[in-house]
Homo-oligomer: A and B are copies of this chain.
Amino acid sequence: MTYATPSAAADALKATLDPSRKSWIESANNPLCDFSIQNLPFGVFSDPRNARNARNTGRRVGVAIGDAIVDLAALHDAGLLTLPALSDDAAREVLNAAALNAFMAAGRDVWRSVRVQLSDLLARHDDNGSDNDNANANAALRDDAALRERVLVPMADATLHLPVDIPGYTDFYSSKEHATNVGAMFRDPKNALLPNWLEMPIGYNGRASSVVVSGTPVRRPNGQLKLPEQERPVFGACRKLDIELETGFFIGCGNALGEPIACEAAEDHIFGMVLLNDWSARDIQQWEYVPLGPFNSKGFATTISPWVVTLDALEPFRVQQPAQEPQPLAYLRHSGRHAFDIALEVRLRADGAREATTICRTNFRHLYWTMAQQLAHHTVAGCNTRVGDLLGSGTISGPTEDSYGSLLELTWNGKRPVVLKEGGTRSFIEDGDELTLAGWCQGDGYRVGFGICAGTILPALPVSE
């Protein structure tokens, strides 16, 4: 699919965001469904019907729509999807892949073209009558049961995998409310924010190897615990296991070593966003983190949601970021709106409980530092980023006590436990608890949602002495 002019391409992209567009896949039109035709997030899946692909893993690239996954490789094989500037063989390799990296590396024109083609293919015909070619392709898929069977995989039958092979994972600390709460709890309530916090998006390198996809069980870590009544630390299971409600974004287009990314241009490097739970062992963290930062308290697992929601899909939900005072240094300045209105929730379900309790409701828009500022800061000293790098927002806390993004804050370090719907309370996470993050943008009659980011806690390994 090529366009006569850049403005034709922009118009086609804009049409994919039309709130009135509906899909002939009816489940996508439910106003509470995360995967509307306006969303079209990318992921990696496998299913029992196609246990093997060219590389023998069975994994391939898909797009979520309603309760189904569009198998992009199958769509391409059917001649209904083209990847601009890629040969058929190259496109097949990009789509029959165990991670989105090659697809991301193909560049923004390819991501956008696929988005436009899918939106046209999946739209209801009456919304799509202006272009005969598109209408014909749309009907070819919609009206051919055998083809639909090959191309549309029921999400319930599929396994969702880590969507990206992540070369680097960086985690920021960009919520002013979160940093203030932590500072007030552990340092000085009157000077809760450290002096550097308002000057830069503070961040640190996380552990990429232990990023796992939603649904992966998480084992409670063992580690050194410094108990106040004992002179030396003891070794044992974490007693203050916590979540951190975050989002993350993936680099779709990196930068070379020594060539910083300007703040104004930073969003061009971002492919899309996921939900991210930065599991944290608070007691291990408190003992280990001075002076080089968190290590074992974070490195045991980080869970992300399987569907990457593109910045293109989030465009209608762009809002103004919080005012920044003092004005940041020049390299951190950008004009316009760089926050997004993304509702976020945390749910806790105890082992055996039927229902989860929502323990936090907040919004991504509260974040003080923007993704663009995070990326500009990350690279300003010359650090290179690579396709697939994951950058976490840091815990997203809102202004009210029920909008804090960690149990540490919600229970004020265990002092005021949260009460669960079916009885019981929680200061920190217990074995068997399932923690779920959810997030979505609420449009007029439709959602652009992230799905969920969930994990259940397994008991710690026994400690032998």
B residues less than 8 Å from A284 (CB atoms): 381
In the complex, A173 has a CB within 8 A of chain B:
yes
- Interface flags for A193-231 (1: CB within 8 Å of B; 0: not) read 011100110111111111010000001011110100000
A464 to B262, CA, bound (A): 11
In the complex, A289 has a CB within 8 A of chain B:
yes
Q: List 21 A-B contacts (CB under 8 A).
A: A167-B167, A194-B291, A196-B226, A196-B290, A202-B288, A202-B292, A205-B207, A205-B295, A209-B257, A209-B385, A210-B382, A221-B382, A234-B329, A235-B330, A260-B461, A289-B291, A292-B293, A292-B294, A296-B378, A296-B383, A382-B461
Decide if B196 touches A299 in the complex (CB within 8 Å).
Answer: no
A 257-305 contacts with B by CB, 8 A: 257-258, 260, 281, 284, 287-297, 299-301
Decide if A207 touches B300 in the complex (CB within 8 Å).
Answer: no
A65 → chain B, closest Cβ, in Å?
32
B residues less than 8 Å from A461 (CB atoms): 258, 260, 382
B residues less than 8 Å from A224 (CB atoms): 196, 199-200, 329
Decide if B389 touches A209 in the complex (CB within 8 Å).
Answer: yes
User: What are the 9 closest A-B residue pairs judged by CB atoms, nearest first?
Assistant: A293-B293, A221-B381, A204-B292, A299-B383, A300-B382, A205-B205, A296-B381, A292-B293, A219-B258
In the complex, A442 has a CB within 8 A of chain B:
no
A241 → chain B, closest Cβ, in Å?
11
Decide if A381 touches B300 in the complex (CB within 8 Å).
Answer: yes
B residues less than 8 Å from A79 (CB atoms): none
In the complex, A377 has a CB within 8 A of chain B:
yes
Decide if B384 touches A168 in the complex (CB within 8 Å).
Answer: no
Nearest residue in B to A204 (C-beta to C-beta)? B292
Q: For chain A, give the interface size range.
A: 35 or more
In the complex, A465 has a CB within 8 A of chain B:
yes
Decide if A381 touches B223 in the complex (CB within 8 Å).
Answer: yes
A458 → chain B, closest Cβ, in Å?
8
Contacts A292-B294, A300-B383 aside, 11 further interface pairs with beta carbons under 8 A come to: A168-B207, A199-B233, A202-B291, A202-B295, A209-B389, A210-B382, A222-B382, A235-B329, A257-B300, A296-B378, A299-B381
A222 → chain B, closest Cβ, in Å?
6
- Interface flags for A371-410 (1: CB within 8 Å of B; 0: not) read 0000001101111111001000000000000000000000
B residues less than 8 Å from A258 (CB atoms): 219, 300, 461
B residues less than 8 Å from A301 (CB atoms): 257, 382
Decide if A380 touches B223 in the complex (CB within 8 Å).
Answer: yes
In the complex, A6 has a CB within 8 A of chain B:
no
With A168-B207, A287-B196 in contact, do A297 and B381 touch (Cβ < 8 Å)? yes
Which residue, of A202, A295, A378, A464, has the highest number of chain B Cβ atoms within 10 A?
A: A295
B residues less than 8 Å from A233 (CB atoms): 196, 199, 329
Cβ 8 A contact of A209, one of B195, B204, B386: B386
In the complex, A415 has a CB within 8 A of chain B:
no
Decide if B202 touches A205 in the complex (CB within 8 Å).
Answer: no
Which residue, of A199, A232, A291, A296, has the highest number of chain B Cβ atoms within 10 A?
A: A291
A203 to B120, CA, bound (A): 51
In the complex, A424 has a CB within 8 A of chain B:
no
In the complex, A352 has a CB within 8 A of chain B:
no
In the complex, A336 has a CB within 8 A of chain B:
no
Nearest residue in B to A200 (C-beta to C-beta)? B224
A 308-338 contacts with B by CB, 8 A: 326, 329-331
